[in-house]
Structure 1
Amino acid sequence: MTTSSDLPVAALPDIDWVEIPGGDYIYQDGKSRTLPTFYMARHPITNMRYQAFLDACGYDDERWWQGIERATPQEPRWPQATRPRTSVNWYEAVAFGRWSSEQLSYTVRLPTEEEWERAARGRAGRTFPWGDDYSTGYANIDETWDDAGECKLEQTTIVGAYPLGTSSEGVLDLAGNVCEWCLNKHEHPEEIEPDTSGDARVLRGGSWDGDADAVRSAERNWNDPGERVDNVGFRLVSSGPIR
């Protein structure tokens, strides 16, 4: 059996990391919190990057699935190489992070929702990654809801297709396109360890089928960790330093 250790690191597409400086920031309804510096992937994980995990027989290697439920891979609805990988449940996203850590020789994982919100809202607690008001054409959403605009693609787009929607530090696609899995539980955010309890895990960011309100950066959503849907993907973070 081929394992991930047989796959050269060069076969794994590079991750474009963005430094999110540590310090105080506004969380949820004006609460001040502090985080250390971390690094967030500029884009959600794409089909191309996830395919490297499949090609490395990542679903057959028990190391990546310890303490979580192993799945059988499901084809995404939109398989184009640079679109975000969807139809991946929370367990699969965790396994992918573990495998990626070995390939990259440093630890990467799903973000906590605090990290995700810090990256999306900046220090000042913006309503959207780009500012406090929704602007038409800044994100892949269904703008026809509540007459926010006329854009309604009804599908994902390639990552980075909405540069006007960038965050203050340069992270893309934090509003719309796909909702993103976070590490922690929805009802107990302090619990971040992977397990098989089935407790709902946090989703952030809204997606292509959501309205402007649903993609606000402070909006909390959730799904069961075993669920796969075509409007949910994920991205990675690292505490660095990135080599």
Structure 2
Amino acid sequence: QVPDILWGKLVPVGEYTVGDSNYEIVTISKPFALSQYPITYAQFSSFVEASDFQDERWWFDMPQEKTVYGVHEYLKQLRRQQFRAWNHPREHVSWYQAVAFCRWLSDKIGYKVSLPYEYEWEIAARYHDGRRYSYGDNFEVDKSNTRESKIGLTTAVGIYPHGHNENLNLFDLTGNVWEWCQNKATAPNEGIVDDSGTQRVLRGGSFFEEKFHASTTARNSCHPMLSDDHYGFRVCVRHAATLP
């Protein structure tokens, strides 16, 4: 069964400021939208349980050589979700597994879905007034799941309606789980998937992190083959015409 993806509103073409003190101007030439929520346990399970989960179309150009982490087939070995609830974010997902999900989903729904570049993630989270958190400039403990909430685990997506970005109707951009982005942590080189294990970017903070790490400009990174119980992802689509 192909999971339904609810999309936020489109981010229009234009120039946007990203970064904090060392800011830069980014030009968006194609409208894009992020999924309203991180990909959930139920949505990701549709991929894992699909008869074509092992299909090489989803896993091509990923690490083939033996490494300290294992071999190519290791990528397909999922770690058990720590907090197994159908409407919680699917965590313990590596960057490679998130990319494979995007390829599989693109094939099933007929238009291209990918991880967002980190500048897309940040533009959406800050839209349209450059806010420090997805809901505004000032941190409020009851609007997101961070360490300050003292919950200590993931929460159902969308459970903080007042913590969403109301301009784009996006939820859980602050806290809950770190979200994988497409690009490398250094200079982006999106044309290469297997890039010698170069670390990939994570954004948004998590239930495990303090508010500083959950700001719209905070960055994290990790080896793309690794996962953790507070690493998840959401997906992105570009071009208005591709949305159903």
TM value normalised by structure 2: 0.89
Q: 1:32 aligned to 14, 22, 25, which one? A: 25
1:85 to 1:58, Cα distance in 2 relative to 1, 3 A? farther
- For 1:40, the aligned partner's letter is L
State the partner residue of 1:199.
Answer: 198
- For 1:221, the aligned partner's letter is N
CA offsets 1:85-115 (integer angstroms, 9 cap, x no match): 0011000000000000011100000000010
CA offsets 1:16-41 (integer angstroms, 9 cap, x no match): 01122221221103422221310110
- For 2:120, the aligned partner's letter is E
- 8 Å contact from structure 2 (residues 113, 235) kept in 1: yes
- 8 Å contact from structure 2 (residues 200, 222) kept in 1: yes
Do residues 66 (structure 1) and 71 (structure 2) align?
A: no
Structure 1 SS opposite 2:42: helix
- 8 Å contact from structure 1 (residues 97, 108) kept in 2: yes
In 2, Cα distance between the equivalents of 1:196 and 1:190?
9
In 2, Cα distance between the equivalents of 1:233 and 1:68?
19
Q: 2:39 aligned to 40, 45, 48, which one? A: 45
Structure 1 SS opposite 2:17: strand
**Structure 1 runs of 4+ off > 3 angstroms?**
190-193
1:116 to 1:192, Cα distance in 2 relative to 1, 3 A? farther
In 2, Cα distance between the equivalents of 1:177 and 1:53?
22
Q: 1:133 aligned to 134, 138, 143, which one? A: 138
In 2, Cα distance between the equivalents of 1:208 and 1:233?
12
Q: 1:21 aligned to 12, 33, 37, which one? A: 12
- Name the stretch that deviates more: 119-128 or 75-84: 119-128
1:77 to 1:131, Cα distance in 2 relative to 1, 3 A? same
Do residues 156 (structure 1) and 154 (structure 2) align?
A: yes
Number of matched pairs: 226
Q: Which runs of 5+ in 1 are unaligned?
A: 1-10, 144-150
CA offsets 1:111-147 (integer angstroms, 9 cap, x no match): 000100011011332111111110121110011xxxx
State the partner residue of 1:3.
Answer: none
Cα offset, 1:175, TM superposition: 0.6
In 1, Cα distance between the equivalents of 2:110 and 2:91?
26
CA offsets 1:48-103 (integer angstroms, 9 cap, x no match): 01111011144411110001143312210011101000011000000000000011
In 1, Cα distance between the equivalents of 2:152 and 2:50?
32
Structure 1 SS opposite 2:182: strand
- For 2:182, the aligned partner's letter is L
State the partner residue of 2:105.
Answer: 100
- For 2:14, the aligned partner's letter is G
Structure 2 SS opposite 1:17: coil
Cα offset, 1:200, TM superposition: 0.2
- For 1:161, the aligned partner's letter is I
Q: Which runs of 5+ in 2 are unaligned?
A: 64-74
Question: Percent of pairs identical after alignment?
Answer: 38
CA RMSD for the aligned pairs? 1.3
In 2, Cα distance between the equivalents of 1:192 and 1:132?
35
TM value normalised by structure 1: 0.89
- 8 Å contact from structure 2 (residues 54, 76) kept in 1: no
- For 1:17, the aligned partner's letter is W
